[in-house]
Amino acid sequence: MTAAAMSFDLGSLRRRIVAGELSAAALAQEVLARLAAAGDDKVWIARVGEDALRQRAAALDAAVARDPSLLARLPLFGVPFAVKDNIDVAGLPTTAGCPAFAYAPAATAPAVARLIEAGALLVGKTNLDQFATGLVGTRSPYGVPRNPFDPRYIPGGSSSGSAVAVAAGLVSFALGTDTAGSGRVPAAFNNVVGLKPTRGRISTSGVVPACRSLDCVSIFALTAADAAALLAVCGVYEEADPFSRRMPPDAGAPATPFRFAVPRAADLEFFGDSDAPALFEHAAAALEALGGTRIEADLTSFFAAAALLYGGPWVAERLAAVEELYGRAPEALLPVTREIIAAGARHSAVDAFKASYRLAALRRESEALWQRAELLLVPTAGTIYSLAEIEADPVGRNTRLGRYTNFVNFFDLAAVALPAGFRRDGLPFGVTCIAPAFSDRALCALGEAFQRRLDLRLGATAHRLPPADAAASAPDGRIAVAVAGAHLSGMPLNGRLVELGAHLLERARTAPAYRMFLLDGAPARPGLLREAAGGSAFEIELWAMSAAALGTLVAETAPPLSVGTVLLADGRAVKGFLCEAAAAARAKDISAFGGWREYLRRR
């Protein structure tokens, strides 16, 4: 296989794996070939050994050979991924970009563990700006990861290696972290998707803190649909993590039509980039074509909050994370990193309280925007800089890169960075969609539609978005799944669909070919059984979800229910919940009610 022959996006890989065309062992070998071809690209700090990678892949293949149903329970079977080297993985050192800080973690971070449990293949730990301090990708003693579009330009940071690994087609996805834009700026500079989820949506246990109260684990992927599917796997509440948060069961579906804000002309700054204004306008026009109504917004309060990040006492959180090393051996830090972190010692507790009051006031001012619009569209970065330009002004130009990112974590917002075109010199440009906390699913759904509208190449590869499954897909390319009982809107299990990134498509009816039975157990639920002849039609809901999320749902579905094919009244065939005949034989027939809601109303 070659990079030209195979895209690493989740949908393409899953289709080939399920069809039996691709094994985990073959994928591992392909990854090793691509790594060899990439050479010394400065992407990696530590890698899983070649033999260990092959053994893990072989073990996955052997497990599925013994139990083919296991494939449905492993939505990330064989999928290669990488992890930023400030996130713990047992068996690999954590350096946070500083050799003197390195340690051997006793446990794997929960976010990483969940991905591995879902069948993913860990390839290694990626390079970063030291202690996740920077947006440039050049502040590392391990070198500068090579920008796959032009090595004279910065890859963006701090999650530099993670973004480059995905863009270059070395892995399917990667985890990064985001405190001030570290999961978004590298996405823009490498033409990939960067999801900065709601704070606490993915556990930060096992992550070396930058500013612990603001840190997020982020996801780099080739598509927004992939990012949503990965969030469904690793975005799980962790009781032991005091910063973990539960996703509300009523988290809304994407609004259609929707209103989106753009910065007023006085707030738009591209720092002399002559191509960026037209590219940003093109992105805004694409959102309008998807049903959005554009308004202009005054972002004064947003930018004022952003200035607090490094100009205020929050920099003391960075010092708190490395206080022992800084006190013992400050020379172990790179000069620019040491200068930034040292500023934390200049702030008092009084400063911290005053700044927190100021931030609360700015956040309240900013909330007025969400009464006028569902989301905010901004450039991810106003421009990109060459390595030479950053070397000449490492702090000033880094600050410019955070103009549209620094306020997001402060204001507890979710964001997804999306590829939005290319400058005339071939370098990518990106935009970010921002919305209130727990809008992650809606942002990814819109991001997927946005990507299909622009139809750009994926990362630095020659591949484009895979085609939607026309036989049983939602308009945005996800799989349409029929639910008829406890997963319906407002019912006890509906929250799980929301957690998996699903959104409601429509209400419909089955073909008149089924019977409905009241099953034993809690919560109360029905089972649909296909009849060989005759039968009734029932009210159902269609929910759209990614292939990976559907795989997770299948794995969680216990007998007597299973996921199979459901026929609709209009002739479509979709995936949906069905009941085993043996269970139906001893259950109460409730077909006469015409649907689960009506049965609950009249019982």
DSSP code of 482?
E
CA dist., res. 298 & res. 318, Å (int): 30
**Which of 236, 219, 199 is closest to 83 using CA atoms?**
219
Residue 97 sits at φ, ψ, to 5 deg, of: 80, 20
Residues constituting the chain: 603
Half-sphere exposure of 162 (CA within 13 A, CB side): 36
For residue 479, give the H/E element and its range: strand 479-483
Residue 348 catalytic?
A: no
How many C-beta atoms surround the C-beta of residue 525 within 10 A?
Answer: 21
**Bond preceding residue 257 cis, omega within 30 of 0:** yes
Cα(531)–Cα(162) distance, integer angstroms: 51
What would the two tokens of residue 559 be?
Answer: 């007998």
Alpha helices, DSSP H, located in 50-98: 50-66, 70-73
182 is catalytic: yes
The conformational region for residue 435 under phi > 0 = left, psi -120 to 50 = alpha, else beta, is beta
Active-site pick, 42, 84, 196, 575: 84
Structure token pair of residue 240: 């032991």
CA atoms of 28 and 5, how far apart (whole Å): 15
Question: Could you say which of 7, 23, 158, 301 is catalytic?
Answer: 158
Active site residue 84: yes
| Cα→Cα distances 209→172, 234, 320, 463, Å | 25, 19, 9, 35
Ranges assigned E (strand) in 143-283: 173-178, 193-196, 216-221, 258-263
What would you report as the CA-atom Rg of the chain, rounded to the nearest whole angstrom? 24
Buried b (16+ CB within 10 A) or exposed e, 137-148: bbbbebebbbbb
Query: 3-state DSSP: the chain helix, strand, coil percent, rounded to 5?
Result: 40, 20, 40
Query: Which residues, 6+ apart, have CB-to-CB distance to 264 below 8 Å?
Result: 296, 297, 298, 299
* Angstrom distances, CA of residue 496 to CA of 228, 336, 344: 14, 45, 42
Q: Which residue has the tokens 């050479």?
A: 39
Is beta strand 539-545 parallel, antiparallel or unpaired with respect to 479-483? antiparallel
578 forms beta bridges with: 562
* 85 in Cβ contact with 127 (< 8 Å): yes
Select which of 160, 162, 182, 536 is catalytic. Answer: 182
| CA–CA separation, 431 and 188 (whole Å) | 7
With CA atoms as reference, report the closest residue to 507 among 477, 549, 537: 537
Closest CA to 35 of 152, 176, 171, 175: 171
Show which residues are catalytic: 84, 158, 182
